[in-house]
Amino acid sequence: SDSAKSDKKEKLVMATNAEFPPFEYYDGDEVVGIDAEFAAAIADKLGMDLKIEDMAFDSIIPAVQSGKADIGAAGMTVTEDRATQVDFSDSYYTGVQVIIVTDDSDITEPDDLKGKKIGVQQGTTGDIYSTDDFGDDNVERFNKGMEAVQALQQGKIDAVIIDNQPAKTFVEENEGLKILETSYVEEDYALAIKKGNDDLVKKVNDAIKELKEDGTFDKIVAKYITD
Ligand code: ARG
């Protein structure tokens, strides 16, 4: 009946790659993290219910383009190239690409990475930038950032380039590793939305603005990042 139908909220489908703590990761069989809670709060502002679809990082933009997902929320960096494929919301967070090495490494700055084996998560900006700067032959691509970090710990590669927040988590979880103080690249995270869906971009940006202004966003961040 109509009334039963109106009780059921429309779904806002979020594409993500839940291998990226503290933005999205599994707690048991639930995807939690800053993006998961932020997107749920945005959905709520839109009068919708959030549904999370976990997939490879590389699949997020295609999922948004095809309409399989309404938003991509994955600590995703705004790049010129991606902006030709999807529209981006206003930026909601600043990320930094950092370099992880073993405690005894002689690598101390980005220049030292020349000729070294660099591990990255496939399709991320860490992959894109290090391929540009150090050459395809020097970059080893993993499905998950954590797998790159484990390969580093096992001595299979010389460094990992990845976003600062997951870097912190991965280094805490794997002994013998450190994050270099000289960071590599600074970037903006935003939500991906299908090109031309100006209505959703506007609604999402309004929601982001409200959630930033009323302190909700900061509260979510404080729950997951304590330093
Ligand atoms: N910020 C980086 C990028 O956009 C990495 C994002 C990875 N996110 C994830 N959920 N695995 O390429």
Q: Is 20 in the pocket of ligand 1 (CB under 6 A)?
A: yes
Distance from Cα 125 to the centre of ligand 1, integer Å: 7
pLDDT at 184: 82
In one-letter notation, the amino acid at residue 220 is I
- Chunked in runs of 10, what are the mean pLDDT values of the chain (227 residues)? 63 98 98 98 98 97 98 98 98 97 96 97 97 97 97 98 97 96 91 98 98 98 92
Mutate to test the pocket of ligand 1, among 88, 121, 160 (most ligand atoms within 8 A of CB): 121
pLDDT at 7: 62
74 CA: nearest ligand 1 atom = 10
DSSP per-residue string spanning 113-125: GTTS-EEEETTSH
Domain boundaries defined on the chain: 11-92+190-224, 95-186
CATH number, domain 95-186, options 3.40.190.10, 3.50.50.60, 3.90.226.10, 1.10.10.10: 3.40.190.10
Q: Is 124 in the pocket of ligand 1 (CB under 6 A)?
A: yes
Burial of 226 (0-12, 13-18, 19+ CB in 10 A): exposed
Q: Is 19 in the pocket of ligand 1 (CB under 6 A)?
A: yes
**CATH topology assigned to domain 11-92+190-224:** D-Maltodextrin-Binding Protein; domain 2 (3.40.190)
pLDDT at 59: 97
pLDDT at 143: 96
State both tokens at 168.
Answer: 């912190």
Distance from Cα 19 to the centre of ligand 1, integer Å: 9
Q: Is 138 in the pocket of ligand 1 (CB under 6 A)?
A: no
Residue whose CA is at the smallest distance from ligand 1 atom 12: 124
Task: Name the nearest CA neighbour of 148 among 170, 175, 181.
Answer: 170
ipTM for this prediction: 0.98
pLDDT at 182: 86
Q: Is 125 in the pocket of ligand 1 (CB under 6 A)?
A: yes
